[in-house]
Structure 1
């Protein structure tokens, strides 16, 4: 019976048992699509990564990302964690990796501390910001177990934003309102039925300000239709959020960063740094970075 080694890490944290857990299969050659999906369901983490040889030898790897229910075109914490895992395995890793993914090429910069120890990674989202449909406030509120009054619309109404994976992004009024949010899977199902433009995908990113700061945020992400009731750290959603907020900020040439807490309500606090660049002539691009902590390793028979 074939056996495959895997490594687990906690992503977007410097503390064991914090952040978002991830499983990485660093040599997944020979696995079928169906086997990868079944393994991800068996792991039952928000995402599991399978590393394969690249189609283009100029790149370092093909990276495939699965939730317990489906394959993702791009995701943040799996790329940060995979870069961390591969760099630690390499011994003398390159400064950057380039991963081939469904959404495009993802550039991964390896982070080190002052002594040279590998601590995490910074990734560049594979696509620039794209904005899609607005989503009715009452739909967002019912999906999150909130009232429409809890949703803030001064800066933007709830809308679909993406830098590789689409999210419905909505601002809520306070930390207290964010803490009260509870995903209602039946309402998510009703939402995609009511809004065909969502194409059956409804990943909801809620955020609020921490105090008066414009760059210190707290977020929660619910994706029950993808098999993830709540995610402890959503790098791709935070990158889309940073790009959205930067696109709305006054001025044509901006480079802004945001310090985002996530996973607090789950007991898995995560620290994410998301940044975005905007010029008057070009698209809005985003990066996301964070630390990782090794968790474990094992072998899975298939």
Structure 2
């Protein structure tokens, strides 16, 4: 059976930037093993498989795979898939401002806007608020894992932590953008240090953005997923909301933060994190970004 696919660049408004995403549009009849094989063939950070929803009021059911395994939830697949479906609906004369994707984590509500025939913007509400996890890795081990000096770790009140909003991340604050640029997966030291964490990844960040109007500069390393470094990681930004609440303690109200990622890879990406704080606690959070179609094709 021939199956259509599209690719989009996500968390960007221009092609050949942001995070590439493959979407297989006709996934009926594919089992988990077949989906994993196709994801390895695309070899992108994530590949999405779209099928009809279980509930008629929802827009689609999606499964998300890295080259190394399936994820219950991910940010750039959610944004990219929502944009593609919005473009499809717009072309068919049935535009919608809101759609719901069924993911393994649960239903994910997305506000969408088509911008022409090949680009759009989506904002989704986190299906789960970030939950703090145990962070068993000492700063000295994290520094060694990332090829850094222990003095490079931490800024202001921020310290290494672990949070999950559906996918667990080890969050590592670094003192400068120079330290973020120097960070790397330091071979066996990375695997050894992160072995005790849920997913063996490290989201490193600092408060020295490269561009005016942005708030944080970040990189994300996850060799166990099959992709050593990811250009833009929405689910990590979702987890990062927990660190913002814990260490920056924003006041009641609505807050908009822009996270830049992928710059060291030549894939600049822009992730918008929106926080709604009520009575000193995080009441809700949203991830937003743009996406643009790059290619369309057929799997034989």
* Distance verdict in 2 for CA 1:93–1:136, change over 3 Å: farther
Query: How many Å separate the matches in 2 of 1:183 and 1:87?
Result: 37
Cα deviation for residue 159 of structure 1 reads 1.3
Show structure 1 runs of 5+ residues with no match.
Answer: none
Aligned partners of 1:185 and 1:224 also within 8 Å: no
Q: Deviations over 1:140-194 (max 9, x none)?
A: 222222121111154232111121211111110101111011113423321344x
Cα deviation for residue 85 of structure 1 reads 0.9
Cα deviation for residue 214 of structure 1 reads 9.9
**TM-score normalized by the length of structure 2:** 0.91
Partner of 2:258: 259
Q: Deviations over 1:254-277 (max 9, x none)?
A: 321111111100011111111112
Query: How many Å separate the matches in 2 of 1:128 and 1:59?
Result: 21
Q: What is the aligned-residue RMSD (CA, Å)?
A: 2.2
Partner of 2:95: 93
Cα deviation for residue 55 of structure 1 reads 2.0
Query: How many Å separate the matches in 1 of 2:122 and 2:167?
Result: 19
Show structure 2 runs of 5+ residues with no match.
Answer: none
Partner of 2:207: 209
* Distance verdict in 2 for CA 1:77–1:281, change over 3 Å: same
Partner of 2:298: 299
Aligned partners of 1:243 and 1:284 also within 8 Å: no
User: Any residues of structure 2 matched to 1:95-174 within 5 Å, and which?
Assistant: 95-112=97-114, 119-134=120-135, 135-152=137-154, 154-174=156-176
Q: What is the count of residue pairs matched by the alignment? A: 295
* Distance verdict in 2 for CA 1:116–1:242, change over 3 Å: farther
Deviating runs (4+, > 3 A) in structure 1? 115-118, 211-215, 246-252, 281-284
Cα deviation for residue 278 of structure 1 reads 2.1
Query: How many Å separate the matches in 2 of 1:215 and 1:89?
Result: 31
Pick which of 28-37 and 156-165 moved more: 156-165
* Distance verdict in 2 for CA 1:232–1:84, change over 3 Å: same
Cα deviation for residue 42 of structure 1 reads 0.6
* Distance verdict in 2 for CA 1:241–1:215, change over 3 Å: farther
Query: How many Å separate the matches in 2 of 1:116 and 1:28?
Result: 24
